[in-house]
């Protein structure tokens, strides 16, 4: 399965979407109680809603580094090499992104949407993760199923 322009576009879209979040989580994991971490995670001069909000974000950061980042990176490498296993891992990364962001739609929308407004919320702060996840999952399933683009 040779990579196509669609493959490259999805990898680039994924890196653009996941790169900044990975940086923020790295800063957060290195120093979770620092003001820089708090500013990056929840906004400048904002505070955690409660201990559960802080712990949930800490859990997301650890999960991303232990599970998602390796899955995403190995999937990207695999699809760029045209390997079936790469499409399976890429699709799994898309599935996990779609899964968690559907949960976040219900748990965080009340707090995040009013602060950002519709344009920023439905693009980078929530939408891009869902759009990339759905596209990566569908594309990978089609490619593994033998569909050529």
**pLDDT score for 12:** 98
Kindly report, residue by residue over 107-127, the tens digit of the pLDDT.
888 888 888 889 989 998 899
For residues 70-85, give the mean pLDDT. Answer: 98
For residues 57-84, give the mean pLDDT. Answer: 96
Whether the Cβ atoms of residue 128 and residue 17 lie closer than 8 Å to each other: yes
Greatest CA span in the chain, whole angstroms? 51
The least confident of 26-35, 85-94, 105-114 is 105-114
Q: Indicate the average pLDDT of the chain.
A: 93
Q: With a cut of 90, say whether residue 148 has pLDDT above it.
A: no
Q: What range defines the domain where residue 78 resides?
A: 5-144
Q: With a cut of 90, say whether residue 42 has pLDDT above it.
A: no
Q: With a cut of 90, say whether residue 45 has pLDDT above it.
A: no
**Spatial separation of the C-alpha atoms in residues 136 and 25, rounded to whole Å:** 22
Kindly report, residue by residue over 16-27, the tens digit of the pLDDT.
999 999 999 999
Question: What total number of domains does the chain contain?
Answer: 1
**Spatial separation of the C-alpha atoms in residues 143 and 149, rounded to whole Å:** 8
User: Which token pair is 16?
Assistant: 């653009």
For residues 99-111, give the mean pLDDT. Answer: 90
Q: Does 149 fall in a domain? A: no
43 half-sphere exposure, CB direction, 13 A CA radius: 10
For residues 15-39, give the mean pLDDT. Answer: 94
């Amino acid at each position: 399965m040779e990579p196509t322009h669609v493959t490259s576009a999805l990898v680039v879209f994924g890196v653009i979407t996941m790169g900044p979040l990975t940086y923020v989580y790295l800063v957060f994991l290195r120093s979770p109680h620092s003001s820089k971490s708090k500013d990056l995670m929840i906004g400048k001069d904002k505070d955690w809603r409660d201990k559960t909000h802080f712990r949930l974000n800490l859990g997301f950061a650890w999960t991303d580094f232990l599970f998602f980042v390796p899955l995403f990176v190995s999937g990207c490498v695999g699809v760029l090499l045209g390997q079936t296993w790469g499409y399976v891992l890429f699709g799994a990364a898309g599935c996990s992104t779609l899964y968690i962001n559907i949960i976040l739609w219900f748990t965080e929308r009340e707090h995040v949407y009013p602060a950002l407004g519709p344009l920023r919320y439905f693009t980078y702060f929530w939408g891009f993760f869902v759009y990339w996840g759905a596209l990566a999952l569908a594309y990978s399933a089609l490619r593994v199923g033998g569909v050529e683009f």
